[in-house]
Amino acid sequence: MIINSVLKQLLGGALLYLALAGSAVNAGQQRILVLGDSISAAYGMSLAQGWVALLAGRLAESHPQVTIANASISGETTAGALLRLPDLLAAHTPDIVVVELGANDGLRGYPIAGFRSNLSKIVELSQQQNARVILVQMDIPPNYGTRYTSAFHDSYSIIANSTDSALAPFILDGVAGQPALMQGDGIHPTAEAQPRLLENILPTLTTLLD
């Protein structure tokens, strides 16, 4: 009887240890959801060549507890992403949401007010699920007029400030306008440009991870 009692105590202690260890492992895990358009969907190349896949490879070494879900779709707008977001948040329960959106709104000349409203709701909905948000700065060509392009550009810092979100630099910084790094359409970066896109995003992201 005494032996059985001791065994039960030892077994109970072992199970408690495993439960606590499992909780510690789960607590250390971090999930990233990338919500973007063709820039993050690796348009014109394999997904393995895109900056999101490169990010996964980089973090596998420096932050092995991190997992990444890429929910980016070519041609996506802020309105389309907002409709998809509730299901994505439920499915992935992300700790960080990287929002790389808006270029298609701007290139189609959508009203700034609607664009800002959608983007703000994406951020707020993510934060309501306890996710931290990184807004990725996007820009559009100057031929849309100074007033529109300036309002579009400023939208990101305005929303980041009002929602206390992190603001990452323009993802195509050092790439846009460089023919050798852009595909023939002049809009999408090449596979060779993807490491630069990653470097533009990585400092802001690692700050949240660390």
Q: H or E segment at 133?
A: strand 132-136
Per-residue pLDDT of the chain (210 residues; tens, 9 = 90+): 433 443 344 334 433 333 333 333 445 799 999 999 999 999 999 999 999 999 999 999 999 999 999 999 999 999 999 999 999 999 999 999 999 999 999 999 999 999 999 999 999 999 999 999 999 999 999 999 999 999 999 999 999 999 999 999 999 999 999 999 999 999 999 999 999 999 999 999 999 997
Question: Of the residues 5, 46, 185, 210, which is catalytic?
Answer: 185
Q: Are strands 132-136 and 166-168 parallel, antiparallel or unpaired?
A: parallel
Question: Of the residues 40, 72, 126, 188, which is catalytic?
Answer: 188
pTM of the model: 0.86
Question: Of the residues 38, 72, 120, 126, which is catalytic?
Answer: 38
| The token pair that represents 41 in the structure block | 């969907």
Beta bridge partners of 70: 34
Classify residue 141 as left (phi > 0), alpha (psi -120 to 50) or beta: beta
- Residue 188 annotated among the catalytic residues of the structure: yes
- Residue 63 annotated among the catalytic residues of the structure: no
Going along the chain from its start, the domains and CATH numbers come out as 28-209 (3.40.50.1110)
| The token pair that represents 195 in the structure block | 């490491």
- Residue 126 annotated among the catalytic residues of the structure: no
